[in-house]
Structure 1
Amino acid sequence: MTPAFWCIIISILFNYFLAGVGGWLTLRQTGKFDINQPRIQERELTGAAARVKAAQANGWEITPVFACCVFIAHFAGVPEEQAALPAYLFVLSRALYMVCYACKLSPWRTIVFAVGLAACIWLIKMAVAYG
């Protein structure tokens, strides 16, 4: 399995990590976890709990984009060692994004998200060059 494929898995695992942290923060804030209506409870969260849940939602939105970019680069024949660098950059940006979101570092969060998006564009640009 290529390094970029491993980065997809890591990106997915980040989202599950955020789900765990978000669940723990939800319990801390509300004293319970509403398994019957978790989406309604999520809308009532504030502070770090709400931010972590939002970071998780954003992770689920961007991970398929990244995965598609990795697959496109792979099928276009981009050498795995060349696809690894933007994939590592994406994973690093997601790790920083989680921290920025949880710590309420809004301007940095936007910049870090843009870096991750640039990594996706980089993969597509390489695919175009090799395809």
Structure 2
Amino acid sequence: MTTELTVLALAGLLQACQFALFAIRANLELGPAVTMGPRDKPVQLSKMTGRLQRAMANHFEGLALFTIAVVVVTLADESSWLTASCAWIYLIARVLYVPAYAFGWTPWRSVIWVVGFAATMLMILAALF
């Protein structure tokens, strides 16, 4: 398995951890009657739980682009030290993004996001050129 695919698998596990972290907090905060219900009305989350939910949603978006980058690199057989390094940078940025978002690290949350996004785009560009 290439480094890029390994990092993609780890990013999937990170996404599962983010989901669990958010879900546990939401269940403790709101109770199972709300979280297992239809939630026809918007629920009010605490600041921290809301941030964890938004960080999780943001990673779903970033993970889609990162998956594209890994698929392009892998299928084009363009794996290199650059694409492997970018993959690790993406994962490290995404790990750091969780506490950055949860604790409101301004402007570092945005800086960390840009680093992960840039690493993803550089992977795609490396495969194309």
- Asked whether the two chains share a fold, i.e. TM above 0.5, the reply is yes
Equivalent position of 2:79 in the other structure: 79
Distance, in Å, in 2 between the alignment partners of 1:61 and 1:44 is 23
Equivalent position of 1:36 in the other structure: 37
Return the structure number with greater helix share: 1
Deviates more, 1:87-96 or 1:21-30: 21-30
Q: Which runs of 5+ in 1 are unaligned?
A: none
Q: Is the 8 A contact 1:3 1:80 kept in 2?
A: no
Distance, in Å, in 2 between the alignment partners of 1:12 and 1:21 is 14
- Provide the TM-score with structure 2 as the length reference: 0.88
Residues 69-116 of structure 1, C-alpha deviations (whole Å, 9 max, x = no match): 111122233134442100000000000111101111131111111001
Q: Does 1:105 align with 2:102?
A: no
Q: Which runs of 5+ in 2 are unaligned?
A: none
- Provide the TM-score with structure 1 as the length reference: 0.87
Distance, in Å, in 2 between the alignment partners of 1:39 and 1:52 is 21
Equivalent position of 2:90 in the other structure: 90
1:38 is displaced (CA, Å) by 5.4
Report percent identity of matched pairs.
Answer: 23
1:39 and 1:46, CA in 2 relative to 1: closer, same or farther beyond 3 A? farther
Question: Counterpart of 2:36 in structure 1: which amino acid?
Answer: I
Question: Counterpart of 1:12 in structure 2: which amino acid?
Answer: G
Deviates more, 1:105-114 or 1:91-100: 105-114
What RMSD, in angstroms, separates the aligned Cα atoms of the two structures? 1.9
1:61 is displaced (CA, Å) by 1.1
Q: Does 1:119 align with 2:119?
A: yes
1:40 and 1:68, CA in 2 relative to 1: closer, same or farther beyond 3 A? farther
Distance, in Å, in 2 between the alignment partners of 1:67 and 1:116 is 13
Question: Counterpart of 1:118 in structure 2: which amino acid?
Answer: A
Distance, in Å, in 1 between the alignment partners of 2:88 and 2:41 is 35
**Aligned pairs, number:** 128
